[in-house]
Amino acid sequence: MARPTRLWAPAVAVAVWLSAGVAAGQPTELIIRNGTIITDAGTVQGDLRIRNGLIDEMGERLVAGSSAREIDASGLLVLPGGIDPHVHLGGNRVDDYTSGSAAALAGGITTISNFVTIRGDQVGKAMAQATAQVETEAIADVILHPIIGDPSPVTPQLEALAQAGHTSLKVFMVRESFDRDVPGFLNLLATAGDTGILTMLHCEDAAIVSTTAERFITEGRGALRYYADARPVLAEVVATQRAVVFSEATGAPVYVVHLSSEGALRVAEEAQARGLPVYVETRPISISPGNASRDLTPGSTWGNLRFGPSRTRTRSGTASPGIRSTRSAPTMSPTLASRSSTPARRYSGTAPG
């Protein structure tokens, strides 16, 4: 993920959501008083001091500076800002950086993300253009993940990419171009690991997906309602198995995006039990009742996980801020604050991101 410039994202509470300014709109010093503060160690009742966007101190009856802003959070929870490391914004999608930020902030997500397609060897140019757009449009903090389709011209530039603060990249195993250059992508993965970059992998087998799609169309099952069945669980399982082997062969960490089946999850679980640096994320839709086709219903798999939350994530809590927002957040109403914390429409096209 992008190299953090902050240890913690700004703290948020319901009181903060209903006021203006999460980023640059904040005063130099902010004290949130009398809240129930949620930390990784438990809960603390008291005050929280934030200086220049960073959590500085927790305690009781903190003394405010002369220019400090104070918010009474009595009866409210005070949480670190959530992080959504897998968002698709812009282009032909509904949300851009501004609307995506607003939706995220309404639900307490203060860091979002987006993906940047790299064409040829234009890594620096593409990331610079994306960064400039983030700085102009975003309200929340943003992590940028470059998508690598051709590893050869990009691999020599990974060190520079990491030094610029971008310590993640994404590869689509589902694309036929992946199978045409597996050695190149293995070299990319190994080099990424050596430079401290985490490789995100879209794990589906291209051959299984393409032949299944062709068969469905021939059979007259090309409508959207057949989409889930047209992406067989086995396609995800075999690709996840390959991802694990690639990680073991190179020693590099891998991050399986939007994992959606119990079979693939068990592959990752076995890899983690052997100490391999394999991480996964899922989506709420994959753990919803009635989603039997993907086998991740409550009580069947997720209710019986045997490994901790540091290795399995939903789409929040896996990275630290990359590009800090310099824009103020809009005033948020109680209605807006009750909506989904991330953009409603994540994907376009025929393949999930």
Residue 286: inside a domain: yes
What the block records as the tokens of 244 is: 């694990």
Residue 6's CB is within 10 A of a number of other CB atoms, namely 17
Do 247 and 277 contact (CB within 8 A), yes or no? yes
Is the predicted pLDDT of residue 89 greater than 90, yes or no? yes
3-class DSSP state for residue 147? strand
Choose the weakest-confidence range: 87-91, 197-201, 208-212.
87-91
- Tell which residue, 242, 239, 169, 254, has the closest CA to residue 209: 239
pLDDT digits (tens, 9 = 90+) for 37-71: 998 888 989 999 988 878 889 999 999 888 889 99
Which structural domain, as residue segments, surrounds residue 300? 166-321
pLDDT digits (tens, 9 = 90+) for 186-208: 999 999 999 999 999 999 999 99
Question: 312 and 173 in one domain?
Answer: yes
What the block records as the tokens of 347 is: 């994907």
What the block records as the tokens of 141 is: 């903090």
pLDDT band at 342 (very low <50, low <70, confident <90, very high): very low
Mean pLDDT calculated for residue range 180-188: 98
The CATH number of whichever domain residue 28 belongs to comes to 2.30.40.10
Residue 153: inside a domain: no
Is the predicted pLDDT of residue 185 greater than 90, yes or no? yes
Encoded amino acid at 106, one letter: A
The CATH number of whichever domain residue 225 belongs to comes to 3.20.20.140
Where is pLDDT greater, at 21 or 185?
A: 185
pLDDT of residue 298: 45
Where is pLDDT greater, at 199 or 262?
A: 199
pLDDT > 90: what percent of the chain?
Answer: 59
**Domain edge (last residue) among 80, 109, 139:** 80
Question: 314 and 170 in one domain?
Answer: yes
For the chain, how many structural domains are there in total? 2
Distance of alpha carbon 180 from alpha carbon 97, whole angstroms: 34
Question: 174 and 40 in one domain?
Answer: no
Residue 55: inside a domain: yes
pLDDT of residue 25: 53
pLDDT of residue 294: 53
pLDDT digits (tens, 9 = 90+) for 300-320: 444 444 434 334 443 333 333
Do 192 and 252 contact (CB within 8 A), yes or no? yes
**Domain edge (last residue) among 53, 80, 107:** 80
pLDDT of residue 79: 86
Main-chain phi, psi angles of 267, to 5 degrees: -60, -45
* Chain centroid, CA 167 distance in Å: 13
Main-chain phi, psi angles of 79, to 5 degrees: -120, 150
Is the predicted pLDDT of residue 289 greater than 60, yes or no? no
Question: 295 and 193 in one domain?
Answer: yes
- Tell which residue, 303, 304, 298, 259, has the closest CA to residue 279: 259
State the average pLDDT for the chain: 79
pLDDT digits (tens, 9 = 90+) for 113-159: 999 999 999 999 999 999 999 999 999 999 999 999 999 999 999 99
pLDDT of residue 323: 60
pLDDT of residue 80: 83
Residue 79's CB is within 10 A of a number of other CB atoms, namely 19
Where is pLDDT greater, at 18 or 45?
A: 45
